[in-house]
Amino acid sequence: ISSKMKAMVDLLTFFGKFICGLLEALFYFIVPRPKKNVEGEIVLITGAGSGIGRLLALRFARLKVILVLWDINSESNQETCELAKKAGASNVYTYTCNCGERQDIYRVADQTYKAFLPSMIANNHGHLVCISSSAGLVGVSRLSEYCASKFAAFGFAESIFLETFAQGNTGIKTTIVCPFFVKTGMFEGCSTRNPLVLPILEPDYVVNKIINAILEEQVYLFLPRFLYFVLFLKSFLPTKSGLALCEYMRIFDVMNKFKGQVKKD
């Protein structure tokens, strides 16, 4: 086959896949996506002792999965275990693990996030879920260290998604979640001047959206939906125009009354 013919075939293949992708997105914008069955699947949740992690465990418990709960606090993790059993889970396993310490992860599972991949690749089956943040999409004043960690989490998860796709491991799914501030206590005191388009999110709402995104195998989940528009604007607005918009929406003030997580005595 000549190089010109090959180039033409590649171009037509690209256009076919591109148009099919657009039509599929349009179709599922109108018609709800089918949800996969996760009954009997092993679901590992880090930070399961409280907040979003605990709520995810309780929601997954109703879906009859095998739950593996990790948390640094063994007592709160056990509480989640008991609640999950009451919610319908029959197989729940708890492990005390500080996910910020590499050696602790090795001790509990002999594996890290990346090391789970070989068995997933061998079986061409699995679903990786990364909880990043809106602070992993755009920088936030007075939140530089947190933004750095969330940008890293987003970039890592996205690159793993692209690697598995490029290698043809279509059975391995990825969901990357980027919510605005959630009322879990971590960002106690933070505020928003535009609650209609950029509200402080309720935990139950966020968890419902995450579960739905996993079951529908959605790759990106930004909450609220206004964040999709923010990324679109960021891609082409002049810097001064973007800063003017941030000033108008009082984005620079969201951390002014930040208190953080209140520790219990």
Q: Of 139, 136, 130, 94, which Cα lies nearest the Cα of 243?
A: 139
Region of residue 88 (phi > 0: left; psi between -120 and 50: alpha; otherwise: beta):
left
Q: Of 112, 5, 100, 83, which Cα lies nearest the Cα of 47?
A: 100
In a domain, 60, yes or no: yes
Strands 66-71 and 92-96, sheet pairing: parallel
Look at the chain and report how many structural domains it folds into. 1
In a domain, 261, yes or no: no
In a domain, 20, yes or no: no
pLDDT in tens, 208-222: 999 999 999 999 999
Structure tokens at 190: 């933070």
pTM, 2 dp: 0.88
What per-residue confidence (pLDDT) applies to 110? Answer: 46
Q: Of 120, 207, 101, 206, which Cα lies nearest the Cα of 161?
A: 120
In a domain, 22, yes or no: no
In a domain, 196, yes or no: yes
Q: Of 193, 159, 157, 192, which Cα lies nearest the Cα of 178?
A: 157
- DSSP H helical segments within the chain, as ranges? 3-30, 51-61, 74-86, 102-109, 117-123, 144-166, 203-215, 226-234, 239-248
Query: In a 3-state reduction of DSSP, which class is residue 142?
Result: coil
Q: Report which DSSP code applies to 78.
A: H
Catalytic residue among 95, 113, 146, 205: 146
C-alpha to C-alpha distance for 250 and 223, rounded to whole angstroms: 19
Give the domain CATH number at 194.
Answer: 3.40.50.720
In a domain, 5, yes or no: no
In a domain, 157, yes or no: yes
Tell me if residue 146 is catalytic.
yes
End-to-end alpha-carbon separation of the chain, Å? 74
In a domain, 160, yes or no: yes
Name the residue range of residue 180's domain.
37-253
Low-confidence ranges of the chain (pLDDT < 50): 109-110, 265
Q: Of 39, 21, 47, which Cα lies nearest the Cα of 99?
A: 47
Strands 92-96 and 42-46, sheet pairing: unpaired
